[in-house]
Amino acid sequence: MADGMVRVARRIAHGCLLLLGVSALSFALLSLSPGNFFDELRLNPQISPDTVSALRAQYGMDHPWPVRYVRWIASGFRGDFGYSLSYNCPVGTLLWPRARNTLLLTALSTLLAWMIALPFGVFEALQRGKWRGRVGSILTATLLGIPELLLALLFLLLAAKTRWLPTGGMTSPDVADAGLLGLSRDFASHLVLPMVVLALGAMPLLTRYIRSAMVTVLDSPFIESARGHGIAHSRILYKYALPAAANSLISLLGFSIGALLSTSLLVEVVLSWPGLGPLVLEALLARDIYVVMAVVMLSSVFLVLGNLIADLLLYWSDPRIRTV
Amino acid sequence: MGVRNAAGKIRRGADVINAVAFRNAQRFALALSVLFACGAARAQEYSTVSGDPGETGGKLVVALRSEPKTLNPILSVDATSREVIGALNADLVHINRETQRTEPGLAKTWNVSPDGRKYVLYLRRGLKFSDGAPFNADDVVFSFGLYLDESLHSPQRDLLVLDDKPIIVKKLDDYTVEFDLAKPYGPAERLFDGLAMLPRHLLEKSYKEGKLAQTWGTNTPPEEFAGLGAFKLKSYAPGQRLVLERNPNYWKKGQRGNQLPYLAELAFVFVPNEDAQVIKFQAGETQLLERANADNFAVLQKDAAAKGHCLVDLGPGLEFQFLLFNMNSLEPTKSRDLISKQSWFRDLRFRQAVSLVMDRKGMARLVYGGRATPIWGNVTPGNKLWLNTNLPHPERSLEEARKTLQSAGFSWNSAGALLDPQKKAVSFTILVSSSNAQRSKLATLAQDDLKQLGMDVQVVPMEFRALVDRVLNTKDYEAVLMNLVNGDVDPTPEMNLWLSSGETHLWDLGEKKPTTPWETELDHLMETQMTTADPAARKKLYDRVQEIVSQNLPFVFLVSPNILVGAQASVGNFRPAILEPYVLWNADQLFLRQGGTAKCR
Amino acid sequence: MNYRRRTLVLILLLAALHLPILVPGFVAPYDYAQQNRELPFAPPNRLHFIDEGGTFHFRPFAYAWQQRADGSGDSYEEDRTHTYPLHLFVQGSPYSILGPWTVRLHLFGVQAPGQLFLVGTDDFGRDQFSRILYGGRISLFAGLLGTSLALFVGVLLGLISGYYGKWMDAVIMRFAELFLALPWLYLLFAVRAVLPLRIKTTEAFLLLVGVVGFVGWAKPARLVRGIVLSAKERTFALAAKAMGASDAHILRRHILPQTYGIILTTAALLVPQFILAEVTLSFLGLGVGEPMPSLGNLLGELQKYRVLTSYWWMYAPAVVLIVLFLAYQWASAMLQEKFAEVQM
């Protein structure tokens, strides 16, 4: 037990070091790529360059990037994650409500994707070689071939034409006076479209990986012998095959968790979901450096978390891996 | 009769007395209020608008591409913020977007001194901010103090500084303000447009504490705002919507005397994707479409009549798209290749040939579905007041282009490739911003056109900021296809484009002095028109500017996209204009027709 | 269908998909950049066998498109006054096979001024069929390049990390997390910015894909490492070790085969991801530049509302992609079967 705790503690320490490294490298990359936030102002003939330089100085942007980086880290410890150049307000106030919305969406859609992909992948593995398996393959190939943006647009069109679902956004304007039930119903109806689009986008990859993992296991001798012993198919599947395949599945789960903040960016933009997507896209293109840094750091935290959880689950679940 | 009964009788008696007193008090209060109302109505000097009379009430929803970044007029730069701020605030003198001329705003009248340097503005009396506080000259002086304060770095400040001297604002009395300019300024009246008058009683404290830059962000609670605009802030949900409600103290009236705005609520929803905006409009979730691209406009047109949409093609706005060739004086350390290519770019005949071979009609037709206007100068037909209508519009001609190149010493080899007088093959790159799909397409068409002259041209898409960095900072480019938008119909806002010392004198940045005779003349003309008061004289000067520009081609002008807007037929007083904000400039007059068959104008 | 037959069908399918893409100039009737400004968004030409007079021809022919007089500019009707028969092995626009050698022979075509747009035209009147062929070439190449780089580095590091364990595992995995977390977009911007302007956009694009591929080693590495961690404790591996086999031998003969499954699956999934990534790269100015087509930027056209709802032939690149992905998936599955047999 204590051994496990030590391992976890060590991983957390590694994680912090990693975050530091990520922050330094990202900051460097962001600062070294050409263009900066104020160039657009300079293109406006009505604003004098003195004003632009004064603004730059005000935000501390005329210092070299290592100096700014150190200052940013220092202020981070005080809870101040920098200032948005576009919005003129602390990054934190911009981030938290939107991060919450994104997490809500991605958590639910990842759950949905796994709920579909797991049985589907197993099904494809069991039915491989037969026509049902082929149809499944065609379906996943089709979904894979449609870019997420296109999928989002098609669903949006569907929603608009049929009026079954709202066309984007997270809440209806007049929902404030609807009571708890009305609120949750409204929220659910807005959630359906982006959730389905994201799940459909993630599903084919997951399905293929799961299928592949299952196929490897199903072809192995111990399963053959179990069948030979006359054990029922369902028991073989649940008690022997799935646990053996868990190794790859857990790594995949780690990725799913790690990607919680980043998968939905494009879909959020198309379906106007008030998450990090539209914010980050604009900030990226406008070189609003501290907003981008904050989102990168947040995503890294999730990545580290996801990998940590995956590793721990791996050691715990697969008895073939001795403690290293 | 016990105490109780006695008390009861007294109470009943008291009741009677109370009742009588109450009724008298009521009558008295009524009388007072009538007097007060009449007095107030007389005291508040309304402005009456000319639009159709409408019905009060209703909620209008508009989709915005991005969120407003701030609601602080001192700091706002981006168009979305300015749009929302415009609905919440009012200015002293306003530019009517439809007529493109100035009209009285918070100032009901003004006069100018004979030397054109002193403006005295007379404010309307009895006006109140949306929170009920009175508006007077103190607020005006305070607001201008903020705009001019150097420590705040307001982008609006530079407009108010002439010859390095800021405008001087003096209060003459509670309703009169005097503005002193360093020198006579032709478009002085237009300066006031967009400069919101701010409430001193709310902002003075944070200003004195040095915290003004942090006030009035989008997260500020509605109670902390007050403005003189048609609407006031009701609620803001980050990432989703911003809702405004009617300002009960608004100082404009409709034709039938009812107080504006007609609308009870104006809501902005944030829809970052252009196609999603169109889909929402089609579904009836939004009532106005602020700007559609040509493709979506064509889709909407198919069933516009059946669905009750009014789609309007306003013609070209103030945007002009052009090819820019690098004619900067570069240090010899820069690429020798680029410097040798500049010998082509600097040759006027080369640029003329390029201009002659551009298929402007094809560009308008293929990229914009016909909804764009070919241009040969920087002023588009949308600018009714300033366009020089006598400029030539040469037709596209491959032979003319070839002849022009030949006269400049160019020739063609056996494979058809163009060679310069030193027998070097003509090839260069055109940079274009990757985020604008239509401009990339223009570049492809331009490339194909230039191929017919034997030029080997490559289109290089580049992210917008990287492109701007090259144009403004490193000057490391050969040709760029880009656009500029004039801020106003008046030519003065683009001084920095035409002045040799100007910071956006794109084709030859960084020079303090003009390098060619025509640039000398341009400098002189622009500076003269800025200080001339007579509009006719200014027009003549600017006509000559347009003539010089179209003859000497610092830019090869291509097309100007038309402004395409739409509204549901139920929206009354929908009168879009080519100046921003295209559909909401008269938001105070918009109304929703209840029932009945609505028809588009 | 038995295994042999299935393999044959798959190989034929892959050949049919890849060969035209290898020599697009021959199969495509037109050059990818050739514009027909009078024919934007023209629908596919129909091939007829019976002409206006009722005569049957063995050689199919097409009519030219002309704009409808009343139309909004993109509605067309067939001009029945001239027939343009289809010929094989015709002379057309020149294209290069290898370097400076140009050839003019095309597989099929019709005589000018007729046109044969098998899959219609795009907004500049360029033949979509030709563009899909040329686009397929560069997209496939980009997909394969990115995938190979990601897998090569990823599998190598995953093997080392999983097998040697302890601190090497920790170091490599932390680096993997670093690579997964960094915003590579800015690296791509920076790389693009320092490249000389004159570099051909296709070369720049491939360089960027190479960068993306190279930094994409982290995910396969993690997946492989998971398998290796488990495989190295299996009895056969332990036995080999006890018998004195070298690390390299164990890795190559015993551990690596265990990872084939995941490698093949990842390969079949990475190729489409790289091809589709070009759509996002184009949006940010890092993709293949006009007028060069790629399956990614052809799909980008489809993402416009108007195109999506009005011009059905523009869906063709999506169909081609789906068939391509299916073929790769199928190949990957078959190879997995083969290796599963082998290791048992």
List pLDDT tens digits, range A4-45.
778 778 888 888 888 888 888 888 888 887 778 888 888 887
Cα B71 to Cα A323: distance, rounded to the nearest angstrom:
58
Chain centroid to CA C41: 24
pLDDT band at C216 (very low <50, low <70, confident <90, very high): confident
CA C328 distance to own-chain centroid: 11
What is the predicted pLDDT for the residue at A6? 82
**Nearest CB partner across the interface for C40, out of B366, B464, B477:** B366
**Residue at C251: amino acid letter:** L
CB contacts of B240 in chain A (<8 Å) are 169-171, 274
Summary mean pLDDT of chain C: 82
Burial class (CB in 10 A: 0-12, 13-18, 19+), C98: exposed
How far apart, in whole angstroms, are the C-alpha atoms of residue A201 and residue A213?
A: 20
Do residue B241 and residue A173 have CB atoms under 8 angstroms apart?
A: yes
User: How far, in Å, CA of B377 to CA of B4, rounded?
Assistant: 96
Of A40, A54, A160, the CB nearest to B153: A54
Cβ-proximal residues to B571 (8 Å cutoff; 6+ apart), any chain? B60, B287, B288, B310, B590, B591, B592, B593
CB B63 within 8 A of CB B272: no
Q: Are A268 and A194 in contact (CB under 8 A)?
A: yes
CA C216 to each of CA A17, C74, C207: distance values in angstroms, whole numbers, following the listed order? 21, 43, 14
Amino acid found at B19? A
The single-letter DSSP state of residue B471 is I
Reported confidence tier of residue C251, pLDDT bands at 50, 70, 90: confident
**Which residues on adjacent β-strands are paired with residue B170?**
B178
Read off the pLDDT of residues B245-277 as tens digits, 9 standing for 90 and up. Answer: 999 999 998 888 888 899 999 999 999 888 889
- Say yes or no for a CB contact (<8 Å) between B429 and C198: yes
C14 residue type, one letter? L
Mutation for C interface: B340, B428, B458, most C CBs within 10 A: B458
Counting every residue, how long is chain C? Answer: 344
Structure tokens at B145: 């103090």
pLDDT score recorded for residue A153: 82
Helix A91-126 vs helix A179-218: crossing angle, to nearest 10:
50
Q: Please identify which residue in the block is written with the tokens 């009609």.
A: B361
Max distance between CA atoms of chain B, in angstroms, equals 131
Confidence category of residue C280, pLDDT binned at 50, 70, 90? confident
**Residue stretches of chain B with pLDDT short of 70:** 1-43, 595-599, 601
Those residues whose C-beta lies under 8 Å from the C-beta of residue B257, and which sit 6 or more positions away, are none
Do C189 and B443 count as a contact with CB atoms less than 8 A apart? no
The predicted pLDDT at position B239 comes to: 85
Helix residue ranges, H only, B390-436: 398-407
d(CA A85, CA A49): 17
Confidence category of residue C74, pLDDT binned at 50, 70, 90:
low
d(CA C261, CA C335): 9
> And the tokens for B44?
């508040």
Q: Which of A18, A144, A248 sits opposite C325 (nearest CB)?
A: A144
Provide the 8-state DSSP code for B272.
Answer: -
pLDDT for residue A1: 54
Residues of chain B found within 8 Å of residue C73, distances taken between Cβ atoms = 365, 369-370
Inter-CA distances, C64 with A173, B305, C45, C67, Å: 53, 33, 8, 10
Q: Chain C contacts of A221, Cβ < 8 Å?
A: 344
Question: Are A45 and B243 inside 8 Å of each other by CB?
Answer: no
d(Cα B107, Cα B47) in Å, to the nearest integer? Answer: 10
- C278 or B199: which carries more pLDDT confidence? B199
Do you find a cis peptide bond into C113, omega within 30 degrees of 0? Answer: yes
Residue in A31, A150, A261 to test binding to C, most C beta-carbons within 10 Å = A150
Residue of A nearest to C283 (CA): A285
Interface of C with A in 182-201 (CB under 8 A): 182-183, 185-187, 189-190, 193
Given B369, B437, B448, which is nearest C35 (Cβ)? B448
Gap from C305 CA to chain A (nearest CA, Å): 8
**CA B192 to CA B275: how far, in whole Å?**
36
Q: How confident is the model at residue C294 (pLDDT cuts 50, 70, 90)?
A: confident
Whole-number Cα distances in Å, B275 to A157, B78, B159, B541, C229:
10, 22, 36, 43, 49
3-class secondary-structure state, position A92: helix
Of C180, C265, C336, Cβ closest to residue A303: C180
Q: Which residues have a Cβ under 8 Å from the Cβ of B598 and sit 6 or more positions away?
A: B308, B568, B569, B570, B572
CB contact under 8 A, A29 and C190: yes
- Contacts for B350 with CB less than 8 Å, ≥ 6 apart: B344, B405, B408, B410
Q: Which chains contact A through at least 3 pairs of Cβ atoms less than 8 Å apart?
A: B, C
**Tens-place pLDDT, residues A241-254:** 777 788 778 888 88
Q: Which two tokens stand for residue A83?
A: 């200032």
Instruction: Express each pLDDT in A120-163 by its tens digit.
Output: 888 888 887 788 888 888 888 888 878 787 888 888 888 888 88
Tokens 């031998």 sit on residue: C249
pLDDT for the residue numbered B40: 43
Q: Do A296 and C223 touch (CB under 8 A)?
A: no
pLDDT at B595: 66
Q: Which residues contact A197 (CB under 8 A, 6 or more apart)?
A: A148, A151, A152, A155, A267, A271
Q: Is the bond preceding residue A319 a cis peptide, omega within 30 degrees?
A: no
Q: Full-prediction pTM beyond 0.90?
A: no
CA pair distance B94, C238, nearest whole angstrom: 86
Q: Which chain A residues touch C302 with a CB distance below 8 Å?
A: 150
| Residue C38 to chain A, least CA–CA distance (Å) | 29
What is the 8-class DSSP label of residue A29? H
- Specify the pairing of strand B456-462 against strand B427-433: parallel
- CA-angle at A266, arms to A260 and A272, nearest 5°: 100
Please, what's the b/e burial string for B479-494 (b: 16 or more CB within 10 A of its CB; e: otherwise)?
bbbbbbebbbbbbbbb
DSSP per residue, A141-208 = HHHHHS-HHHHHHHHHHHHHHH-SS-SS-SS-TTGGGSHHHHHHHHHHHHHHHHHHHHHHHHHHHHHH
**C-alpha of B561 from chain center:** 16
Find the chain B residues whose C-beta atoms sit closer than 8 A to any C-beta of C.
275, 278-279, 295-296, 298-299, 337, 359, 362, 365-367, 369-370, 429, 431, 433-435, 437, 440-441, 443-445, 447-448, 458-464, 466, 476-478
Q: How far is CA B367 from the centre of its chain?
A: 24
Task: State the pLDDT at residue C340.
Answer: 65
Q: How far is A36 from chain C (nearest CA, A)?
A: 12
Query: Pick from A248, A171, A191: which is nearest to A216 by CA?
Result: A248
Specify the residue for token string 């300015």.
B82
Instruction: Say if the ipTM goes beyond 0.85.
Output: no
**Closest Cβ opposite residue C181 in set A128, A145, A303:** A303
Give C 309-328 residues with CB within 8 A of chain B.
Answer: 309-310
Q: What is the pLDDT of residue B159?
A: 84
> Are residues B296 and C200, on separate chains, in Cβ contact within 8 Å?
no
Residue with tokens 């002439």: B162
